[in-house]
Structure 1
Amino acid sequence: MGRYGRVRRPIRPLVAAGIALAVVIIGAVAVASWPGPEAEADAQGDGAKSGASRAAASPATGTEPEPEPGTTRSPEEPKTKPTPKPTTSADVPVSGPGTFTTAQSQGDPVGSGPPRRYSVQVENGVDVSAADAAGEIEKILAHPQGWAAHGRGSFQLVSSGADFVIRIATPATADKLCLAQGLNTRGELNCETVDGVVVNLRRWVLGSPQFDGEPSEYRHLIINHEVGHEIGLRQHLGCGGPGKLAPVMMQQIKGLDGCRSNAWPYDKDGTYVDGPGL
């Protein structure tokens, strides 16, 4: 067999044992490193999951982890605001306590003519801010198409010592205040009293179905109409003709008679919007 035969025989079992040991070690390493079904599924996700895994494994630093090379962060979804629900008559309280909060506001005089100081009050328990209402009314009376701009009066918002008061009241309270002057407002209308103006909350919030415009525009008509009475225009006016602007002293809530709804005493050219007396 040759002198090397006896040397080869003991080597074979050692080689076989070594190979077997290597197979066992490789198999153990493979089993230990195989991720298993759950980890495998997670690894098939997008790059954001990989970034989240890294962030969880690394200590918190207060900064966002950098994206993997070749990837970009998705922009954050914009937060959408819910669409406001339209206000309906069911949202306007029918009655209130009959007490009022006076806006603690002081404005500068606007316009020319007899000085008139006014304060604004809102009935307690309603969802209208006295300060906000006062600011809105102040802008209405200072408008270029309003009474102040054409010499019919100088108006100043005050919190005390007013010549007249503008009150925004629930329908039941408005009816009570107006009925004291012999006026039946039927839970729907505004009126002028001996000490000022009463604005029906329903009209302030909802406007009028006869008026072609937003409730905020109808408020202009309310104030201009009632303040018109306050400065001495006692008579209501009618429509001056089909297609013409309705006079601000017309009771537009009762119908337009062919006129176009209008919230201002004067048109854009400074002409008084007139009509036949009623």
Structure 2
Amino acid sequence: MRTASRPATPVSYPADGGNRWRFATAEVPAPPGPGRLLRYRVAVERDIQNLPVSEFAAEVTRTLNDARGWTADGRLRLRRVAWGQPADFTIYLVTPGTRDELCQDRRDGYTSCRNGDRVVLNVARWVKGVPGYGASLTTYRQYMINHEVGHRLGHGHERCPGRGRPAPVMQQQTLGLHGCTANAMPSLDGERYTGPPGAYDDPVPPRERGRLG
């Protein structure tokens, strides 16, 4: 007789964390190929509960190693390394308050960012996504990763190339799609997919209050 599996415990987190970290182990083996290798570390803020760093890191690595990702043309490789090993950037999953500390930009507690060698992903968006996105939470999470890592790779914001077309991954899809459809990947149909350079003047939703997860 089968026993019904228990539902997963929801991820929970406070509005403001303590800036303390759990670190992921290295990805083994390194992705093959001749492309330039960039190494990244993965960290989850300790105040985020019920999300093992190994689980988060695995999703990050699956996204970055995807055949439609930043490494699609073979000129770049991305490899996760352990904390303490040399790295080119670090991907953090953080509480909204720590997002503001690490990003050092407008203190909105809502968006994610890239600041130098920090790729900062807001756990509130990881858990809740955004209203009206029109795709699964998994797709939105892939978008978060690829968009902010894209900034670390030197890519700026882009705009929707036409109503009904997929949004470029460097469009600020968190704040609006502007007639495009949700898209999480840098490459489509085997080619890098882009839109016109620039950003929209979209308002950022109000800061969420209290214990958020």
Give the structure-1-normalised TM-score.
Answer: 0.65
Once the two structures are superposed, what CA deviation does each residue of 1:198-239 show, in whole Å capped at 9, x if it has no partner?
Answer: 110111122222422222221110111111111111x20000
From the two aligned structures, give the one with the greater strand fraction. 2
Return the offset for 1:185. Answer: 4.8
Distance 1:276 1:216, change over 3 A: same
Return the offset for 1:271. Answer: 2.4
The residue correspondences of 1:66-81 to structure 2 (distance < 5 A) are 79-81=3-5
Q: Partner of 1:254 in structure 2? A: 175
What is the distance in 2 between the residues matched to 1:230 and 1:107?
23
5+ residue gaps, structure 1? 1-75
What is the total number of aligned residue pairs between the two structures?
Answer: 194
**2:119 aligns to what SS in structure 1?**
strand
Is 2:98 the counterpart of 1:176?
no
What is the distance in 2 between the residues matched to 1:239 and 1:83?
38
Deviates more, 1:100-109 or 1:186-195: 100-109
Return the offset for 1:243. Answer: 0.5
Q: Verify the 8 A CA contact 2:13 2:47 in the aligned structure 1.
A: no
- Which residue identity is paired with 2:130? S
Deviates more, 1:92-101 or 1:222-231: 92-101
Q: Partner of 1:149 in structure 2? A: 72
Distance 1:134 1:83, change over 3 A: closer
Distance 1:145 1:186, change over 3 A: same
Return the offset for 1:94. Answer: 1.2
Is 2:20 the counterpart of 1:95?
no
Distance 1:92 1:213, change over 3 A: farther
User: Which of the pair has the greater relative contact order for Cα pairs under 8 Å at 6+ separation?
Assistant: 2
Is 2:116 the counterpart of 1:116?
no
Distance 1:201 1:152, change over 3 A: farther
Return the offset for 1:81. Answer: 4.3
Is 2:196 the counterpart of 1:271?
no
From the two aligned structures, give the one with the greater helix fraction. 1
The residue correspondences of 1:1-278 to structure 2 (distance < 5 A) are 79-81=3-5, 91-110=12-31, 112-127=34-49, 128-159=51-82, 160-179=85-104, 183-233=105-155, 235-267=156-188, 269-278=189-198
Q: Verify the 8 A CA contact 1:248 1:263 in the aligned structure 2.
A: yes
Q: Verify the 8 A CA contact 1:152 1:231 in the aligned structure 2.
A: no
Return the offset for 1:101. Answer: 1.4
The two structures, once aligned, show a CA RMSD in angstroms of 2.0
Q: Verify the 8 A CA contact 2:139 2:183 in the aligned structure 1.
A: no
Return the offset for 1:79. Answer: 3.9
Return the offset for 1:262. Answer: 0.3
What is the distance in 1 between the residues matched to 2:138 and 2:169?
16
Deviates more, 1:128-137 or 1:256-265: 128-137
- Between the aligned residues of both structures, percent identity stands at 37
Q: Which has the larger radius of gyration?
A: 1
Once the two structures are superposed, what CA deviation does each residue of 1:5-55 show, in whole Å capped at 9, x if it has no partner?
Answer: xxxxxxxxxxxxxxxxxxxxxxxxxxxxxxxxxxxxxxxxxxxxxxxxxxx
